[in-house]
C-alpha cells in the first residue's frame, strides 16, 4: 500500500512540475510527443506524453470550430493517438518551424493532414 501511495505521489509531483514549466514551442514539446508515439519508458516520460496528448486533443476538438483560415476537418472517429502521430511527423519533417507555438504547429499539421472540403 505504501508503494502505491509513493508512486501516486511521485506521479502528482511530476505532473505539477510539468505544468509549472510551461511548454510553449514545438522544440519544447517534441520529446514529450515523441514519447507518446514511441511509448514512454519512465514515469516522467508518461507524464510528459500525457501532457502532449492533452494539448493535441484540445486542438483536435477545436478543428472545425476555428476560423476558415485555420480550420481543419479530421475524419469522424479520429483518435488522439492518430493526431499525435501526425503532429510528431510534422515536427520531424519541419525542424525549422519548431520555434513556433505548439498551437500554431498543431493547426498547421492538422490542416495539412485534414483540409476541410470547400
* Residue 82 near residue 63, CB atoms below 8 Å: no
pLDDT, residue 25, reads 77
> pLDDT tens digit string along 24-69?
678 788 889 999 999 999 999 999 999 999 999 999 988 878 888 8
In sequence order, what are the residues at sequence separation of 6 or more whose Cβ sits closer than 8 angstroms to the Cβ of residue 32?
Answer: 23, 45, 48, 49, 51, 52
Q: Which residue has the higher pLDDT, 50 or 20?
A: 50
| Domain ranges for the chain | 2-113
| Closest C-alpha among 35, 110, 99 to residue 65 | 110
* Residue 86 near residue 53, CB atoms below 8 Å: no
pLDDT, residue 22, reads 57
> pLDDT tens digit string along 76-115?
999 999 999 999 999 999 999 988 888 899 999 999 999 9
pLDDT, residue 63, reads 84
Look at the domain 2-113 and name its fold. Answer: 10k-s Protein, Hypothetical Protein A; Chain A (1.10.890)
pLDDT, residue 62, reads 86
Residue 111's Cβ-side half-sphere holds a number of Cα atoms within 13 Å equal to 13
Amino acid at each position: 500500500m505504501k508503494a502505491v501511495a509513493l508512486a501516486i505521489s511521485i506521479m502528482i509531483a511530476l505532473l505539477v512540475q510539468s505544468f509549472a514549466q510551461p511548454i510553449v514551442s514545438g522544440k519544447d514539446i517534441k520529446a514529450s510527443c515523441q514519447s507518446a508515439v514511441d511509448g514512454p519508458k519512465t514515469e516522467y516520460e508518461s507524464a510528459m506524453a500525457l501532457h502532449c496528448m492533452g494539448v493535441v486533443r484540445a486542438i483536435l476538438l477545436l478543428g472545425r470550430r476555428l476560423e476558415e483560415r485555420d480550420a481543419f476537418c479530421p475524419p469522424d472517429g479520429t483518435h488522439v493517438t492518430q493526431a499525435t502521430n501526425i503532429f510528431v511527423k510534422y515536427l520531424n519533417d519541419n525542424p525549422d518551424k519548431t520555434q513556433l507555438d505548439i498551437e500554431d504547429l498543431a493547426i498547421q499539421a492538422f490542416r495539412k493532414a485534414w483540409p476541410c472540403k470547400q
